[in-house]
Amino acid sequence: MMVEDVAKAALSERLDVFGILHAEPDDGIGEGTIVLLGPAEPGFWPHVTATPEFGDGEPDPLDRWSARVVKRIATTTGGRALLPFGTPVRPFTRWALRSGQAFVSPVLLLVHARAGLFVSYRGAILLPELLEIPKPPPHPCDSCEGRPCLAACPASALVSDRYDLSACHAYLDTNAGQTCMVRGCAVRRSCPQGRNYPRMEMQSAHHMKAFHP
């Protein structure tokens, strides 16, 4: 199987290839090529919220949907499903960096070549073959004028040298903080690298509610 086969199966569930890397002995998953999957935009949120997991009233619909479809993609492509939640714990952040498609931003969040600070991973497929790895793009922050992420947090909770979770949660309880709750974290929204990756505000609101119930 090729990465293109995974990409095709993933796209039918509005997922996209977000990075490719070879497994290493420390990963504990054997040999092969890891294909990282993240939301394909536009269209991810309307697609996923129309699935049974979002209508059954049970908790964690996004994770349950991810587990179901990533396992199905793995079966279709002769690979093995790897998930970024539950056990065993998989090092998705480390894999993202090793793939060369994601980088450490000045605010220490991951920034992705296509999704910017909206990057997220819904799963990965381990293919048994050692496939060719594409050449990585340049670090997007090296050419980012003004680095707006550094000054975007209205509560100064997420800056270059710290993420003050208490300050963030306190701000989210205020009237002014409702903008973050409804539209998503201002730091993530400030990144020009994600401008061509139209994640819907409804999805950001879903994640914010989970982060700050």
The smaller minimum CB distance to ligand SF4, of residues 21 and 153, is found at 153
Q: Is 38 exposed, middle or buried (0-12, 13-18, 19+ CB in 10 A)?
A: buried
The only residue of 186, 197, 203, 206 in contact with ligand SF4, by rule CB under 6 A: 186
Backbone angles phi, psi at 174, to 5 degrees: -90, 165
Query: Does residue 116 belong to the site contacting ligand SF4 (CB under 6 A)?
Result: yes
Q: Which of 39, 48, 125 is nearest to 90 (CA)?
A: 125
Query: Does residue 155 belong to the site contacting ligand SF4 (CB under 6 A)?
Result: yes
Closest distance of CB 140 from ligand SF4, Å? 4
Closest distance of CB 3 from ligand SF4, Å? 26
Query: Does residue 23 belong to the site contacting ligand SF4 (CB under 6 A)?
Result: no
Query: Does residue 144 belong to the site contacting ligand SF4 (CB under 6 A)?
Result: yes
Whole-angstrom distance, CA of residue 82 vs CA of residue 85: 9
What is residue 189's three-state secondary structure? helix
Q: Which of 157, 155, 144, 156 is nearest to 191 (CA)?
A: 144
Query: Does residue 171 belong to the site contacting ligand SF4 (CB under 6 A)?
Result: yes
Q: Which residues bind ligand SF4 (CB under 6 A)?
A: 105-106, 111, 116-117, 140-141, 144, 147-149, 153, 155, 157-158, 168, 171, 180, 185-187, 190-191, 193
